[in-house]
Amino acid sequence: DAIRRVIEDAALFSIFHKYMHEFDTYIVKQNKTSGTNLPLPFAQQILSDLGPLALQDRAELIIGLFFQMRRAFFFISNNVGGHSEPVRKLRARLWQNIFSHDLRLYLRCLHTQMESFSTLLIGETGVGKSQAAAALGRSAFIPFHEQSSRFEANFLDIYVTANIAEFPESLIESELFGHKKGSFTGALENYSGLLGQTHAHGVLFLDEIGELSLPVQVKLLRVLQERVYNPVGSHQPNRFSGRLVSATHANLANKISTGQFRSDLYYRLASDVIEIPTLRQRLDSSPEESIELVERILLRLMGTNDPQTVEQVHHAVMGRVAKNYSWPGNLREFEQSVRAALLHGEQPHSPLLLPTHTPSLVPTEPHVSGPWESVTWSADEMLGHYVRHAYEKLGSFERVAQRLKLDWRTVKKWVSPSKNE
């Protein structure tokens, strides 16, 4: 049996790679065609190749797995780009979240049971939680039907997403669970709600899950425990067969300790908790990742990322901030900085710091710890240290100049003396 499994795995590996590029072409085409389920043009060729392996009874399942693996690679690679160690680890976590750590186990039984594994994405604002969620949602297993040569659903249509913070509190319950016509003022017709709109093989992504009110948390807990829910105004239970992925930038532990979030719901949401790394962590691990980020953003914004433009924009973006700038807005802030560089080039500007993040300008050095007779700092040296400290905190020549009432060229001279010699 062990030898047979090895031979079978090797044969499947060979067939998968034979049609890998055809699957990629199909995915790109389907990715532009929402609402339409395109036939798989090379399905009969795969079925013919599987024939000698006596796998006809599993042929549909195998084609479904091949398709899912290429989709997962496509969406994880496109949505979670970069080569830093934190990003590589994140991509590995997302892959295991989709297929588990054992692909044979997944193919044997888990591919139909993934609704039981809820996922919670955590991380600061702007780190790309929604992009990671979309990669998971569009990579779910979709059955293939040999008779029609089509998959059961379009992968664009099986992913449903909503931001809890966008809904008025009075409407969140209706938006999630749906409602029956006449159940409240304004309910003019039946509404299926987000749970009802999620395909049986799909994923529902709820962003800002920490904003749910306690009564709605109780109802969502029932969905995760029993897989059933009742629309507002209805006593007819509906089944939720999709998978739930949620995200938050809030500290749920603090919310639980203050009674704002139910601990039992947290444990139901957290079959797998994935932390999305900050831009600071990514650049600390691999500073050159900023270049790749510029390439990706330019390709998306302009349809091109020629090396000369990338170099110019990257130089402008990174030249506007201090070397150890913390990027509090993460990827979202970085992308806006690329836009600003496209508009204004290397002109000095203020970084996207919120007022609440404005730091103190009190320098930690140099300081006088002994008698004045021992002081060796000149006035110019003291000023230079003070200006450089301010630049580290505020991130731009112009902003420091405004705060210290200096000309920005003077600030630049003190911050980068070697560049002005």
**Nearest 5°: phi and psi at 313?**
-70, -40
Q: Which residues contact 320 (CB under 8 A, 6 or more apart)?
A: 337, 340, 341, 346, 348, 349, 351, 395, 396
Strand partners, 355: none
Residue-wise pLDDT tens for the chain (421 aa)? 788 888 888 999 999 999 999 999 999 999 998 888 999 999 999 999 998 888 888 999 999 999 999 999 999 999 999 999 999 999 999 999 999 999 999 999 999 999 999 999 999 999 999 999 999 999 999 999 999 999 999 999 999 999 999 988 888 999 999 999 888 877 889 999 999 999 999 999 999 999 999 999 999 999 999 999 999 999 999 999 999 999 999 999 999 999 999 999 999 999 999 999 999 999 999 999 999 999 999 999 999 889 999 999 999 999 888 888 899 999 999 999 999 999 988 766 555 555 444 444 444 445 444 444 545 567 777 777 788 777 776 766 767 777 787 877 787 777 776 444 3
Helix (H, G, I), strand (E, B) or coil at 240: coil
Q: What is the token pair recorded at 390?
A: 């301010």
Residue type, 332: R
d(CA 134, CA 159): 7
Output the CA angle 53-56-57, nearest 5 degrees. Answer: 125
* β-strands 150-151, 144-145 pairing: antiparallel
Element (H, E) at 88: helix 85-99
Give the pLDDT of residue 360: 44
Q: What is the token pair recorded at 421?
A: 């010699």
Give the pLDDT of residue 417: 61
DSSP string, 133-173: HHHHHTTS---EETTTTEESS-TTTSEEEEEGGGS-HHHHH
Q: What is the token pair recorded at 87?
A: 């990003």
10 Å Cβ neighbour count for 91? 20
Q: Which residues contact 372 (CB under 8 A, 6 or more apart)?
A: none
